[in-house]
């Protein structure tokens, strides 16, 4: 997962996480998000987990940092389309209540725009 | 014009000089020492008044020199296209200037600064056998007062090739040494980290009539998993299993802080949920790295077998009876530590009958992956635990063997840690 497919429209950045988000791929996502958020144009960030196979605690850390960054700039991070397996990782770590999670990408985009 | 015999003499003398220089610079590895040696040998072999050596830095596209004779040891840096040296580097061609002050490329500022009077300049690119330009060498003022001739050009080119090879080799060795240093630092960090974990201290355990076994295998040299066990008071044993998000030195430092905080807070006699709450608040004061740690904390009454526990986003441990019944600890509310403040952790309570095992682990077990990317999973772990064990150590061995059999040749993707307590 060296490449992160993304779209930017109406100040909402939508990123799709394909494959595995683990110790090896997390630094790439960290760098990618840092570059995109640096521009100051992103008011809402949507991360789509639909094709995500796996997330480790290193991946959760990147999401947590992204949430903090968005919050400090007055924006929002919305996660969407978590598979049962990914959801379980969030549940065990106790992260589910910490993030805004939507069932679908469409709902997430709406939530990010509000 | 020289006579044929004196030409031969010169050729032989040059060859001897070259061989000698080649032997000498071949014995030096340290770059600074090497550059100094090349400069001094070049001056004497070329029978010149001074020499300068400029190394090319491809990262900044600059030429730099620490050894321009007469300039002291100050480092000089300039853009790689600048001056006679720059032109030598970019064109990869010899520049022979018989009268420096009549040549527009010559920069007289060094003469002004040093009081030296440059007459002639011979500038040669340092090209390795593989065709890389590593720098430029220049000689100034032939001792006999004449300009440098074609023989001098040949000789300096030959010297330059020797020098280029030696410089490249020295630079490669330096890179290797740097890598070794980094590697050594990481190895030391891993060693310090491993030393922070309690050893399986037989004497302590035997004296207290306790049975605890543990195992930790980092995926990288410095990992994020840790465990701990210690007496809170004469009758209570604390058991800690933790997993810091991420790995490497930052994770190791975060782990060290967490482990220390838990031990000191738990020894104040607080309940596990209160301990996690306090440690969480303390960790949040530390940094904004976004780092967090999942933790299971159990405090066992060693006479009664009562276990009070709390869970900061860690996988629930198992209780295994002597006959092999496997029960997961009832989940209690909680979140990984270091994420958000003012968290209430749930207080759990269970009872270990005599002979019962408490099995704690990190996700390196249940998320161990085979070559096809399939996970070991809780189901297989529970099935494995469903048997009669004779000791805590054998429980750990069984888990490790089964995980090994599952992953086969796939590389270990996460730290793997297990700690087992048996209530005696």
In chain A, where the domains are located:
10-113
Using the predicted structure, report yes or no on whether residue B4 has a pLDDT greater than 70: no
Chain B residue with minimum CA distance to A57: B245
Instruction: Name the phi and psi angles at A39, rounded to 5.
Output: -65, -20
Among the partner-chain residues A26, A64, A92, the one whose CB lies closest to the CB of B292 is A64
Among the partner-chain residues B244, B335, B413, the one whose CB lies closest to the CB of A93 is B335
pLDDT at B186: 82
d(CA B138, CA B116): 15
Q: Per residue in B345-391, pLDDT tens?
A: 999 999 999 999 999 999 899 988 888 878 899 999 999 999 999 99
Q: Which domains does chain B have, with CATH numbers?
A: 4-171 (3.30.450.40), 187-422 (3.60.40.10)
Taking the CA of residue B343 and the nearest CA in chain A, the distance in Å comes to 11
* Least confident span in B13-17, B234-238, B263-267: B13-17
d(CA B366, CA A81): 23
Using the predicted structure, report yes or no on whether residue B1 has a pLDDT greater than 70: no
Of B315 and B22, the one with more pLDDT: B315
Mean pLDDT of B209-227: 87
Mean pLDDT of B10-35: 82
Task: Find the length of chain A.
Answer: 114
d(CA B100, CA B105): 8
Answer whether B308's CB lies under 8 Å from B271's CB.
yes
* Least confident span in A17-31, A84-98, B12-26, B270-284: B12-26
Mean pLDDT of B134-143: 95
Quote the percentage of chain B above a pLDDT of 90.
58
Q: Per residue in B93-115, pLDDT tens?
A: 999 999 999 998 898 888 888 88
Using the predicted structure, report yes or no on whether residue A17 has a pLDDT greater than 90: yes
pLDDT at B150: 93
Interface test with B, best of A22, A61, A85 (most B CBs within 10 A): A61
Of B127 and B110, the one with more pLDDT: B127
Of B26 and B165, the one with more pLDDT: B165
Quote the percentage of chain A above a pLDDT of 70.
98
Chain B CB contacts of A62 below 8 Å: 290
Mean pLDDT of B249-254: 85
Using the predicted structure, report yes or no on whether residue B287 has a pLDDT greater than 70: no
Using the predicted structure, report yes or no on whether residue B5 has a pLDDT greater than 70: no
Chain A residue with minimum CA distance to B344: A94
pLDDT class for B3, splitting at 50, 70, 90?
low
Structure-block tokens of residue B409: 């040749």
Fold of A10-113: Transcription Regulator spoIIAA (3.30.750)
Asked if B290's CB is within 8 angstroms of A68's CB, the reply is: yes
d(CA B47, CA B156): 11
Using the predicted structure, report yes or no on whether residue B8 has a pLDDT greater than 70: yes
Q: Closest Cα partner for B313 from B265, B283, B359, B280?
A: B280
Asked if A60's CB is within 8 angstroms of B245's CB, the reply is: yes
Asked if A56's CB is within 8 angstroms of B363's CB, the reply is: yes
Helix (H), strand (E) at residue B244: strand B236-244
Chain A CB contacts of B339 below 8 Å: 64, 94-95, 98
Asked if A98's CB is within 8 angstroms of B245's CB, the reply is: no
Among the partner-chain residues B334, B340, B414, the one whose CB lies closest to the CB of A56 is B414
Taking the CA of residue B334 and the nearest CA in chain A, the distance in Å comes to 6
pLDDT class for B202, splitting at 50, 70, 90?
confident
* Least confident span in B78-87, B220-229, B267-276, B340-349: B220-229
Mean pLDDT of B42-63: 92
Using the predicted structure, report yes or no on whether residue B68 has a pLDDT greater than 80: no
Of B72 and A69, the one with more pLDDT: A69
pLDDT at B274: 96
């Amino acid at each position: 997962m060296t490449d992160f497919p993304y779209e930017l429209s109406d100040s909402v950045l939508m990123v799709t996480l394909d494959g595995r988000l683990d110790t090896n791929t997390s630094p790439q996502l960290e760098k990618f998000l840092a570059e995109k958020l640096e521009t100051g144009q992103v008011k809402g960030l949507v991360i789509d987990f639909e094709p995500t196979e796996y997330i480790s605690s290193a991946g959760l850390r990147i999401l947590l940092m992204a949430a903090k960054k968005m919050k400090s700039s007055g924006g929002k991070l919305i996660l969407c389309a978590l598979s049962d397996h990914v959801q379980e990782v969030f549940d065990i770590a106790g992260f589910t209540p910490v993030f805004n999670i939507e069932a679908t990408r469409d709902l997430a985009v709406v939530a990010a725009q509000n | 014009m020289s006579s044929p015999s004196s030409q031969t003499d010169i050729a032989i003398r040059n060859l001897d000089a070259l061989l000698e220089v080649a032997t000498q610079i071949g014995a030096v590895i340290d770059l600074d020492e090497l550059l100094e040696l090349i400069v001094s040998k070049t001056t004497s072999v070329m029978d010149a008044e001074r020499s300068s050596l400029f190394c090319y830095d491809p990262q900044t596209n600059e030429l730099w020199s620490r050894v321009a004779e007469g300039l002291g040891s100050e480092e000089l840096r300039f853009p790689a296209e600048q001056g006679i040296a720059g032109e030598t580097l970019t064109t990869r061609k010899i520049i022979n200037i018989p009268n420096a002050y009549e040549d527009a490329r010559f920069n007289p500022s060094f003469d002004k600064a040093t009081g030296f009077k440059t007459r002639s300049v011979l500038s040669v690119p340092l090209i390795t056998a593989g065709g890389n330009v590593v720098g430029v060498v220049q000689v100034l003022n032939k001792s006999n007062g004449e300009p440098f001739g074609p023989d001098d050009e040949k000789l300096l080119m030959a010297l330059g090739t020797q020098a280029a090879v030696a410089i490249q080799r020295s630079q490669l060795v330096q890179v290797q040494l740097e890598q070794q240093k980094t590697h050594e630092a990481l190895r030391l960090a891993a060693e310090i980290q491993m030393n922070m974990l309690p050893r399986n201290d037989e004497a302590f355990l035997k004296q207290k009539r306790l049975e605890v076994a543990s195992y930790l295998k980092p995926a990288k040299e410095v990992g994020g998993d840790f465990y701990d066990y210690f007496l809170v008071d004469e009758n209570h044993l604390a058991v800690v299993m933790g997993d810091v998000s991420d790995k490497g030195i930052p994770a190791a430092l975060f782990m060290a802080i967490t482990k220390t905080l838990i031990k000191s807070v738990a020894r104040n006699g607080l309940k596990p949920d209160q301990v996690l709450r306090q440690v969480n608040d303390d960790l949040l004061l530390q940094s904004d790295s976004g780092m967090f740690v999942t933790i299971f904390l159990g405090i066992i009454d060693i006479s009664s077998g009562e276990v009070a526990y709390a869970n900061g986003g860690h996988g629930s441990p198992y209780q295994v009876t002597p006959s092999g019944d496997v029960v997961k600890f009832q989940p209690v509310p909680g979140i990984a530590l270091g994420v958000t403040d003012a968290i209430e952790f749930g207080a759990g309570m269970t009872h270990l009958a005599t002979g019962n095992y408490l099995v704690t682990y990190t996700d390196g077990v249940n998320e161990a992956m085979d070559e096809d990317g399939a996970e070991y999973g809780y189901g297989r772990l529970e099935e494995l635990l469903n048997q009669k064990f004779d000791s805590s150590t054998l429980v750990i061995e069984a888990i490790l063997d089964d995980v090994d059999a599952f992953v086969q040749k796939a590389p270990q993707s996460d730290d793997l840690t297990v700690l087992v307590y048996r209530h005696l």
